[in-house]
A and B are shown apart, each in its own frame.
Chain A
Amino acid sequence: MQLDLKTIEALAPDQASLGAAAKLTKRSNWPRLEAHEQLPLIWGECQGSGSNPYRVAFDTSDHGYKCTCPSRKFPCKHILALAWIGATAADSFARVDQTPDWVNDWLGRRRKPGQSPTPVAASSEGKSIDEASRPAESAPVEDAAAAERREAAQRKRAEDTRSAVSAALDELDQWIADQLRLGLAGFVDASSERCRRIAARLVDLKATALAGRIDELPARLMALRGEERPDAAIRELGKLVLLAKAWRTAPDDAELKRLVSTSETRDQILANPDAVQVESDWEVLGEKIETRRDGLVSHATWLLDLKSPTPRFAVLLDFFPASAGRRSGAFAPGDRFKARLVFYPSRHPLRALVAEWLGDVAPGSWPSFAPDAAGDPLAAYAAFQDGAPWLSDCPIILPAGAIAQDEKDGTWWQAVNDPHGIALPVAGSVDPTLLGLDLTATAALWNGARLELLASQSNMGRLDLS
């Protein structure tokens, strides 16, 4: 590797980036570090603040780089940390003769700057790798009075937030009553404007998460056929009523706080002794990437626990600004890996973080999950709604079935030999090939109105459907 610390110092956009990179050079932050045997390439996966690890690649010959984090600093701290490890602890990298697909993708798309590395000599001013390496000065010891003041301030902030959120929910209640009074027909037609107005109020009153949910409500309505929208509006608004009531009953409940105001940080979740931890083999079922009206992109990666006797799912949820451009995820549908996940505390734990990545797992079929006693494919959804009726998307495993078409070219999942005669409408359009395949099992998200397909096992192997 042709790397030295001077180069890294010169590449860094500022001293703060170097300082942040220094903290990431601990081996424990990097579940994967690899270097190509012949090519001047190093890459790795760094566990950042998102739920997915960031994928970082660095070309040691021309100092080209790529990181999947949403940082607007170029290069980001992950790149600098990777290069730093490359310069100081080259033995940390496993030598391999194949580049992973995501590195190939990057290599294929990038344009090399020329034959010589990026000139770096003049750009080290104001940055010092020595300074960044120095351990942070220990914080001054806080006296008891100061600690008391700080805690009191925290309590006051929490109380203020609670009061603001309570006021926000009062406004939301009134707004819902107004919509009923004015008529849902008008609400459906003007949902975009009306939702935006109340969402803005909720943001002012610190109910940020709830505001985001309401902002997305019009899009969910418009995804349905006209005749379905009033029912969908009843469902969505009814869930908001339930959520508001639940929060008032238990304003300190972690799940409800997350759904109404703000979410915990990654560190808080990892430090939470009540957070469920599951070490298992996981398969990436699929991804759901949505650009929201508030300018954020939500990137959900759905996972299936391959060792659980009953279907257990996890979702790795990340948000980043749409202005940061298209961002590749850490995992591709169909990937399998062993990992320890930590779930955000919840009635039905779904949202999780990868606490520890423990290696790849060989491809294979899904386990045969025991069917529900009554043979009802939506039994899991009913149980889900019993525990948390304010939630919408519920992951389910459907039994053997097929995709059928109605006369309007809408598509439906239909069970094979189903005593209940159940058919579920599928969201969006599907690949017409799917209409000819026998699906032995299907993983999907059901929201009470539409089925969003994630993946299937079929007579022709695994199908990526997300």
Chain B
Amino acid sequence: MNELDQPGLARLRDGWISGGAAFELAPVEWKEAAAASSPDEQERRLLAIAAQALDVALRPAAPKTLKRRPPLPVLALPMLPERLRPPLRAALKYAADARLKTRVATLVASRGFVTHPMDWMPAASDQAAPEVYAPWVDWQAGADGEKHSRREHLTAETWDDFYPAARRIALVDLRRAVPALARTLIETKGARESAEVRLALIELMRFGLGADDVPFLQSLSSDRSGKVREMAGRLLARLGERSYPTDGGTEDPTGELAALIEEGKSGFLRRRTTYAPIKLKSPAQQARRADLFASCYFGDLVARFGKTEPDFIGAWQFGVDDNADRFLVLMVSVSGSDAAVACLADMLVAEGGKLTLLVLQLMLRLDSGRKRLLIRQILNDAQNLHALSLVEGAEAGWLQWGDLANGKTLSALRSAVSGDNDVMKRSAEQYLEAIGFLATAATAEKLIGDVAAAGLPPASPSLSLLRLNAALAGNTTK
């Protein structure tokens, strides 16, 4: 369009917006082209010319402030082959929430692939995503692209070159490999960070926690953030460092808690000491006991009874008061030593039944071997299969066919899918999804055949994760 026509078009436009004849406002050439005997026809002809001018000769003006995001980083693992994207999408579609979707991505990562970003992306706040996704987590969080996410050689000099998620993973690696170096970094770099970031950094001290960390953790007792002081106190407690988490008041909460626990004896021949919660009389007392379990440290409590942590756990009378059992397990999870956590987990798994479920409170502190034991126990008695999806941090793709076939799970699944009880069927479908994450590819394939033979439609969406797992056969990084 001739530049001279543009003001004419603007005048026409203004005229038509407010209404009335606009012919006289048109550019001369347009008026000549649109001339007609009827005024209405003239207006319509002008309208047609203006429409074409707007369509072809004018283009939307882009704002000068258009901003592009930095390129999405390429991850360290290859992208899932195109042929496997449909089963991946089916598994993601079936996964009901973000946690279950992350689990699908974890399975895929365990077989050496990452998802296509249009199929699944971790959220900016996702800390459960497989480590390989850290650059995408940082990208989602709005990293500006001038830096590069990288995991190698985290040092004081390169600290600022790392985005938060990538730095977190590098620090965890460093804590596992050279804990002192990581501690020094946290000590020197953490001091200038906000309380929230400081807390996240101190929390990472749980990896590779050892006696060398005691002085630094003790120095945090004067940190300006209460949450940081509390975290440091818990970590010290795990190391057997006794302390009182109160701010120097006159109360003795650990003594108060100890008073709510009754020492007794059991056995006819070999009398041994037992500990059990005393019976409480009011909801107020129960609330107070809950607070005390949450705020005291396990090491301090057992010291009141003159026992070691494992001995105290061995003497605890589980089953007397379910709430007290749960509080105690939580307390061990937060402030118990590694030995106490291992002892408690082993004991509860060995007990079986509903006590096994208490181990779920210890998940963050358990090694992968104990997590597998827990899962095997859940599968073995098949009473609490719903707990399978509550096992946080479980590894993907290790469950063998024997783990299913030797216990009661397989027969329970067959019976549920072949029966008419819809509730049981739906539950079985959830268990299948959970097993789809845990199973090896061979187990997954065999299980699909087994439940299909029992009556579950082979194309049931509940088999999506198992199908993806089976399709990923031959790709195992672990």
Which of A's residues lie within 8 Å of B, judged by CB?
39, 99, 101, 103-105, 107-108, 110, 112, 173-174, 176-177, 180-186, 230-231, 234-239, 241-242, 245, 363, 378, 381-382, 385-386, 389, 402-407, 412, 414, 421-425, 431, 433-438, 448-449, 459-464
Contact = CB atoms under 8 A, between A and B. Distances in A.
A63 to B, nearest CB: 15
B43 A177 contact: yes
B47 A433 contact: no
Contacts of A386: 56
Contact of B18 (A101, A185, A241, A436): A185
B54 A108 contact: no
B121 interface: yes
Contacts of A245: 48
A99 to B, nearest CB: 6
B56 A382 contact: yes
Interface residues of B, number: 48
A237 B384 CA distance: 67
A403 B17 CA distance: 33
Contact of A183 (B17, B44, B116): B17
B68 A414 contact: yes
Contacts of B50: 234, 238
B19 A405 contact: no
A425 B457 CA distance: 46
Contacts of A449: 60
A175 B293 CA distance: 79
A335 B69 CA distance: 30
Contact of B52 (A173, A237, A385): A385
Interface in B331-358: none
A77 B52 CA distance: 47
B45 interface: yes
Contacts of A433: 72, 117-118, 121
12 contacts: A108-B457, A174-B40, A176-B44, A177-B44, A231-B13, A238-B49, A382-B56, A389-B48, A389-B52, A406-B65, A424-B60, A436-B139
A404 B62 CA distance: 10
B135 to A, nearest CB: 11
B290 interface: no
Contact of B59 (A378, A402, A404): A378
Nearest to A110: B457
Instruction: List the 10 closest A-B pairs by CB distance, nearest first.
Output: A238-B51, A183-B19, A423-B62, A436-B72, A107-B459, A177-B40, A435-B69, A104-B459, A404-B66, A448-B55
Contacts of B56: 381-382, 385-386, 448
Nearest to A464: B118
Contacts of B460: 107-108
A376 to B, nearest CB: 10
A463 B63 contact: no
A83 to B, nearest CB: 20
Contacts of A235: 51, 54-55
B159 interface: no
Interface string B22-48: 100000000000000000110111011
A234 B461 contact: no
A110 B72 CA distance: 40
